[in-house]
Amino acid sequence: MSQTLQAIRGMNDILPADAELWEQFEEAVRDWLRAYGYRPIRMPMVEPTPLFARAIGEVTDIVEKEMYSFEDALNGESLTLRPEGTASCVRAVLQHNLLYDGPKRLWYMGPMFRHERPQKGRYRQFHQVGVEALGFSGPDIDAEQIAMCARLWDDLGLTGIRLEINSLGQSDERARHRADLLAYLQQRQDMLDDDARRRLHSNPLRILDTKNPALQGLVDAAPKLIDYLGAESLRHFEGVQQLLKDAAIPYRINPRLVRGLDYYNLTVFEWVTDQLGAQGTVCAGGRYDGLVAQLGGKPVPACGFAMGVERLLALWQDQGHQHESVVPDAYLVHQGEAAGRFGFRVAEALRSAGFAIQFHCGGGSFKSQMKKADSSGAPLALIVGDDEAAANSVGVKQLRGGFEQAPAQVTVNFDELADHLGTILFPMEDDDGNL
Ligand code: ATP
Ligand code: MG
């Protein structure tokens, strides 16, 4: 027996019931982004490998061990399936000179790829909604992005997601912190794990982002970056906090929050829940003022965040949100050659009039077709036999009640069918669809 092919581990099929939930989520996200003036952008899923190495940092988990990189068989160029969107977005902005007429608010949504150990909330193909604001330097945009997230949780009815913020200061402040951190870690070298020892000289800040529980105590007591911030960095951080307070958004300063990518400076933030087990960060971001220049542009301040769609949807479902199945307005059953052709025309005409019609395909008795009509969830069945076809009319039958004002079953002329369905299905609307 041949074995059926399976999807790659950590890369999930999203089956219809879940895909409908995804669509609901995506609709909410689109409305939400419009409310803040963000415009969509779509970047390729494959980029030249050096883009990510340069943007995210050579000595990060992502670049060191999580990227799907391969050689283009035709020209030998090293390519990578994007592990995140910020680098691609900034590349696209520079390539197309999008900032020529001022700052931009951009967003995208799509799959990202990281070679991680698959587990609940951690996949090798996962999805992010990414939000990037380029050209704004003040704390107001940082705070606005954080407030945006709070509003989305509210729009979705999500609770129990708490906000952690920190400031990573500027590079000179990080350099002073780094020297003290290095000295601190060097004195405790025997307590470090292999990863941490390897990073000691290349990127000691990364050690603070360790997921190894054995290192937590050591890391908690390490010199804190926030104590090295100068007046300007502190002012920016206080500005963000003031706006959060004004907006009544509770937060906690987590001095250990450093993020897994090297491009951040000043504000960083994460939204975390305790309800998803170990993979509790549903959204993360911050300011990345150096990235545009790092990728070859003139310096442009920027701030952004990405949320993990799978984690948010898991939380949404855990908190009782159920997907709504897409149900047709009517299911059309038919029997006989003339009836089939007439019914096909009826269905198309009704779709032109704005109705969702499921046309029965595959033949079978009226009885078996009516069973299908019933299980489709449609409130109405449209019944066409050769008699109806000859009379240019259609039987309309209620399948699940709920429309007391309409007869349980009635025969309607084809020309009046759309109006008739409209008055049954949308009795409160006038001809223009207004309530
Ligand atoms: P983590 O610490 O969980 O590895 P990260 O810092 O690597 O996250 P980011 O690169 O900041 O994550 O990505 C933003 C968000 O994308 C995360 O907060 C998370 O919700 C989601 N995410 C990241 N990696 C994965 C993954 N492998 N599977 C599912 N979601 C992910
Ligand atoms: Mg990670």
How do residues 363-400 score in pLDDT, each as one tens digit?
Answer: 999 999 999 999 999 999 999 999 999 999 999 999 98
Q: What tokens does 56 get?
A: 């995210």
Q: Say yes or no: 269 and 353 in one domain.
A: no
What distance in angstroms lies between residue 367's CA and the mean position of ligand 1's atoms? 51
Ligand approaching nearest to the C-alpha of 279: 1
**Ligand 1 atom nearest 270 alpha carbon:** 18
Q: Say yes or no: 273 and 367 in one domain.
A: no
Query: Pick from 283, 318, 353: which residue ends a domain?
Result: 318
- pLDDT over 90 (residue 165): yes
- pLDDT over 90 (residue 152): yes
- pLDDT over 90 (residue 267): yes
DSSP bridge pairs for 380:
330, 398
Question: Which residue intervals of 66-170 are DSSP H helices?
Answer: 86-95, 139-156
**Ligand 1 atom nearest 312 alpha carbon:** 20
**Ligand 1 atom nearest 211 alpha carbon:** 2
Contact 71, 79 (CB under 8 A): yes
| Mutation pick for ligand 1 pocket among 276, 281, 316 (CB with most ligand atoms within 8 Å) | 281
pLDDT at 332: 98
| Mutation pick for ligand 1 pocket among 81, 125, 126 (CB with most ligand atoms within 8 Å) | 126
Q: What tokens does 235 get?
A: 């002012």
What distance in angstroms lies between residue 222's CA and the mean position of ligand 2's atoms? 22
Q: Say yes or no: 248 and 385 in one domain.
A: no
Name the domain count of the chain. 2
pLDDT at 404: 80
Amino acid letter, residue 163: L
pLDDT at 210: 87
According to DSSP, the β-strands at 104-113 and 39-40 are parallel
What distance in angstroms lies between residue 34's CA and the mean position of ligand 1's atoms? 24
What distance in angstroms lies between residue 64's CA and the mean position of ligand 2's atoms? 12
Query: Pick from 253, 287, 318: which residue ends a domain?
Result: 318
Query: The tokens 């780094």 sit on which residue?
Result: 178
Q: Say yes or no: 279 and 358 in one domain.
A: no
**Ligand 1 atom nearest 281 alpha carbon:** 18
Q: Say yes or no: 89 and 163 in one domain.
A: yes
Query: Cα 360 vs. chain centroid, distance in angstroms?
Result: 35
Ligand approaching nearest to the C-alpha of 128: 1
272 CB near ligand 1 (under 6 Å): no
Q: Say yes or no: 421 and 346 in one domain.
A: yes
66 CB near ligand 1 (under 6 Å): no
**Ligand 1 atom nearest 306 alpha carbon:** 14
Q: Which residues are within 8 A (CB) of 10 and not within 5 positions of it... i.e. 6 or more apart? A: 116, 118, 122, 123, 124, 125
282 CB near ligand 1 (under 6 Å): yes
What distance in angstroms lies between residue 282's CA and the mean position of ligand 2's atoms? 12
The share of the chain scoring above pLDDT 70, in percent, equals 98
Q: Say yes or no: 57 and 132 in one domain.
A: yes
In a domain, 405, yes or no: yes
- Name the packing angle between helices 309-318 and 16-35 (round to 10°): 110
Query: Pick from 318, 342, 362: which residue ends a domain?
Result: 318
Distance CA 204, CA 75 (A): 37
311 CB near ligand 1 (under 6 Å): yes
Task: Lay out the sheet containing 78-81: strands in order across.
Answer: 46-48, 78-81, 68-71
Q: Say yes or no: 366 and 269 in one domain.
A: no
Q: Whose CA is nearest to atom 21 of ligand 1?
A: 308
- pLDDT over 70 (residue 220): yes
CATH number at residue 378: 3.40.50.800
Question: Which residue intervals of 3-159 are DSSP H helices?
Answer: 16-35, 49-56, 61, 86-95, 139-156
In a domain, 339, yes or no: yes
150 CB near ligand 1 (under 6 Å): no
What distance in angstroms lies between residue 308's CA and the mean position of ligand 1's atoms? 6
Q: Say yes or no: 347 and 414 in one domain.
A: yes
Q: What tokens does 310 get?
A: 């799978």
Query: pLDDT-based confidence at 361, cuts 50/70/90?
Result: very high
116 CB near ligand 1 (under 6 Å): yes
In a domain, 203, yes or no: no
In a domain, 76, yes or no: yes
262 CB near ligand 1 (under 6 Å): no
pLDDT at 3: 84
Q: Say yes or no: 126 and 257 in one domain.
A: yes
In a domain, 103, yes or no: yes
According to DSSP, the β-strands at 302-308 and 125-134 are antiparallel
- pLDDT over 60 (residue 431): no
- Higher pLDDT pick, 422 / 434: 422
In a domain, 77, yes or no: yes
Q: Which residues are within 8 A (CB) of 15 and not within 5 positions of it... i.e. 6 or more apart? A: none
Distance CA 421, CA 426 (A): 8
Where does residue 74 rank: exposed (0-12), middle (13-18), buried (19+ CB within 10 A)? exposed
Q: Say yes or no: 313 and 385 in one domain.
A: no
Q: Span 134-160, mean pLDDT?
A: 98
**Ligand 1 atom nearest 260 alpha carbon:** 6
- Residue 362 belongs to domain spanning: 330-425
32 CB near ligand 1 (under 6 Å): no
**Ligand 1 atom nearest 282 alpha carbon:** 20
Contact 129, 309 (CB under 8 A): yes
In a domain, 190, yes or no: no
CATH number at residue 44: 3.30.930.10
pLDDT at 434: 60
Q: Say yes or no: 288 and 334 in one domain.
A: no
Distance CA 114, CA 424 (A): 51
Question: How high is the mean pLDDT of the chain?
Answer: 94
In a domain, 192, yes or no: no
Q: Span 285-289, mean pLDDT?
A: 97
